Structure 1
Amino acid sequence: MRVGVMSFAHLHAASYARLLAVIPGVEVLATDPDHARRPGESGGAELADALGVAYEADYAALLAARPDAVIICAENAAHRPLVELAAAAGAHVLCEKPIATTLADAQAMTTACAAAGVQLMIAHPVRFSPAVAELRQLAAGPLGEIVSIAGTNNGRIPHGERAWFVDPAAAGGGALTDHLVHVLDLVDCLWPDSRVRSVYAVANRLLHPEVAVETVGLAALRLELGGRDVPVVIDASWSRPDGFATWGGLTLRVTGTGGIVDLDPFAGRIGGHLNSTGNAAWIGYGPELDALLLDAFLRVVAGEAVAVPDGVAGTRSLAVVLAAYESVRTGQPVDCTRTLR
């Protein structure tokens, strides 16, 4: 099986290439022709060489090698043209989240893949955590009627490693764009028939006021679940300090009539202090979620499974993010039912 990595712009691209390179029977190709637009950042042929994967000069050359599948790790606003190129070449697609920055792009990507007979999957590794599988079982019965959901996705601002994350044109937004979709996907994973009815959001730049996008965001949703409206609150902020020992984390608290469950997929770690870094020790253990994501995608490519989450689910999450921005602009709750039905 031949898999191409299209762009090293996203921070996860190197992880995907590294993991794919050691899977028996998988040949990895990479290209990062826009690396020159990211001066001082890792990428291009040099990064491919460091990862031990073959490098092609540009997207056309990579697709000419007829990969079975590609992983698109370009800037958010650049996803659509690359997905359309890959679909036209007959390659299945794993696309970094969020799916796009506009609904028109997201819908065009989904349509292009369907028309070409290839599958489009959105890269949400946390849903493949064994802890999420356990929570799914609890949510299906022992927790009873769900009363409320509270999620957090907090991390360091990533502009020191990838400046485009704080470029509104390239990223589509800031912390709300980067982090809301992770929790939204978990909700979609746990309750596939649920739908967001409305969203009220606030955001600011109290942290890192020097950047052009929001760095702090909070969204309150009304989730239609089992014929009832369930309140959901999500903290989606770049609120970890630059010197924090790890990138951040994601949590979910689900309260039901049968109990309360707290999910923390990144809780397994060795702690302490390291003189070498002058910081707390934060050494995670347990399954590598990117590896679980890739395993699921390769099964899709092999025809053994369907893409989950797919382009439709990715579009649904994007619609909530865009509604959150409208709420920030207007100061009012935004009805999501017109765009999410």
Structure 2
Amino acid sequence: MKVGMISFAHLHATSYASALLEMPWVEFVGIYDEDNDRAKEWASKLGVKHFEKLDDLLKTDIEAVIICSTNADHCHYTVKAAEAGKHVLVEKPIATTIEDANKMIETCKKNNVKLQIAFPVRYMPAVIEAKNIVQSGKLGRILAIKGTNHGSMPGGWFTEKDKAGGGAVMDHTVHVVDIIRWMFGFEFKEVYAEYDRLIHDIETDDCGLLTMELTNNVFATLDTSWNRPTAYPTWGDVTMTIVGTNGVLELDAYGQKFDIYNNDVKKAQWEHWGGNSDYFLVKDFLEACKNDTPVKVTGEDGLRALEVALAAYESGKKKMPVKIEDIR
């Protein structure tokens, strides 16, 4: 199966590229990037072709693309790829506006191509096991959920509102929202959020706290802050505390790790061994394309997660709860 990549603007691009090279049944054809020098650099490192024009990549016989552009460019590249008949795996969040997200979904459906959103946390072994426990009913009726998706401040375009759509709230809300929807089957009804720029000298928010009302009288809280310093052993975390009538489940998605002490980097590091979620995300998408089966993380899943992030921003502005239906 032949695959191309569009843009290496996002940090996850290198991991997805490595995943492509690990699959013997996949031919990684090449890279297009709006930054031509970046495209040349990574094409050379990965041993694939560099395309100076997007249309030249899309005119090849590739069957699918992986898009790792700035958030604001997701719609443009997805529409171009879909109209060229290519299946699309696009980095999260699906887009920065509801209008763009809907356009992406509609264009892919119109052109009969698959659209998957990159939510790799679904593919973590600990998260899969947590879902199995929840679905078994062992926790009883779910009452509340506390989540965190802390991280280090990524810098670059992630802190530019016109390119990222927001800051920490946009970057980290969507992961945990997606896990909750996938794990429990709940939908989000209302969001109250407070966010600010308290840690870093940047344009966007770097910390946020969300309180969310879900169906079935469940409520959830989420800390999305970019509060991990440079000296922290890893980029961040994804955790959940799930409270049920029969028990409490604690989830640490990246808790399987070695402690490494390295004089070269002058700090402790955590090396994760629990599973390569990016690899399984890419593999799952490409197998769906190859076998013509439904993707497991749909454009609609991406849209539902984006709605919560946008509702959080609207709530922070208004200083009051915002209903999801008012965002649509």
What TM bracket, shorter-length normalisation? over 0.9
Identity, in percent, stands at 39
Equivalent AA in structure 1 for residue 166 of structure 2:
G
**Equivalents in 2 of 1:275, 1:82: separation in Å?**
42
Superposed CA deviations along residues 142-183 of structure 1, whole A, max 9, x for unmatched, are 011001101100111001xxx110010000000000000000
User: Quick check: 2:147–2:222 contact (8 Å CA) kept in 1?
Assistant: yes
Q: Which residue of 2 aligns with 1:144?
A: 140
Superposed CA deviations along residues 13-67 of structure 1, whole A, max 9, x for unmatched, are 111111201211211133343216xxxxx82211121122222222111101131
- 1:243 Cα offset (Å): 2.5
User: Quick check: 1:4–1:67 contact (8 Å CA) kept in 2?
Assistant: yes
Choose from 70, 85, 90 the match for 1:95: 90
**Equivalents in 1 of 2:82, 2:260: separation in Å?**
47
Q: Is the alpha carbon distance of 1:144 and 1:304 closer, same or farther for their aligned partners in structure 2, counting shifts above 3 Å?
A: farther
Q: Which residue of 2 aligns with 1:52?
A: 47
Q: Which residue of 1 aligns with 2:198?
A: 206
**Equivalents in 1 of 2:217, 2:38: separation in Å?**
46
Equivalent AA in structure 1 for residue 11 of structure 2:
L
Q: Please, which moves more after superposition, 74-83 or 128-137? A: 128-137
- What is the root-mean-square deviation of aligned Cα atoms in Å? 1.4
User: Quick check: 1:77–1:169 contact (8 Å CA) kept in 2?
Assistant: yes
**Equivalents in 2 of 1:22, 1:128: separation in Å?**
17
Q: Which residue of 2 aligns with 1:31?
A: 31
Q: Which residue of 2 aligns with 1:39?
A: none
Superposed CA deviations along residues 206-247 of structure 1, whole A, max 9, x for unmatched, are 110x211000011100011xxx21110000010100232211
Choose from 262, 281, 289 the match for 2:269: 281
User: Quick check: 2:31–2:48 contact (8 Å CA) kept in 1?
Assistant: no
Q: Which residue of 2 aligns with 1:290?
A: 278
Unaligned 5+ segments in structure 1 are 37-41
User: Quick check: 2:260–2:271 contact (8 Å CA) kept in 1?
Assistant: no
Q: Secondary structure at the match of 1:29?
A: strand
Quick check: 1:167 aligned with 2:160?
Answer: yes
**Equivalents in 2 of 1:272, 1:111: separation in Å?**
47
Choose from 118, 121, 125 the match for 1:123: 118
Aligned positions, number: 327
- 1:135 Cα offset (Å): 1.2
Equivalent AA in structure 2 for residue 195 of structure 1:
E
Equivalent AA in structure 2 for residue 233 of structure 1:
T
Q: Secondary structure at the match of 2:89?
A: strand
Q: Secondary structure at the match of 1:238?
A: coil
Equivalent AA in structure 2 for residue 147 of structure 1:
L
User: Quick check: 1:31–1:58 contact (8 Å CA) kept in 2?
Assistant: no
Q: Secondary structure at the match of 1:164?
A: helix
**Equivalents in 2 of 1:179, 1:296: separation in Å?**
23
Q: Secondary structure at the match of 2:96?
A: coil
Q: Secondary structure at the match of 1:156?
A: coil
User: Quick check: 1:70–1:93 contact (8 Å CA) kept in 2?
Assistant: yes
Quick check: 1:215 aligned with 2:211?
Answer: no
What is the TM-score of this pair, normalised by structure 1? 0.93
- 1:85 Cα offset (Å): 0.8
**Equivalents in 2 of 1:211, 1:338: separation in Å?**
29
User: Quick check: 1:98–1:181 contact (8 Å CA) kept in 2?
Assistant: yes
**Equivalents in 1 of 2:292, 2:130: separation in Å?**
25
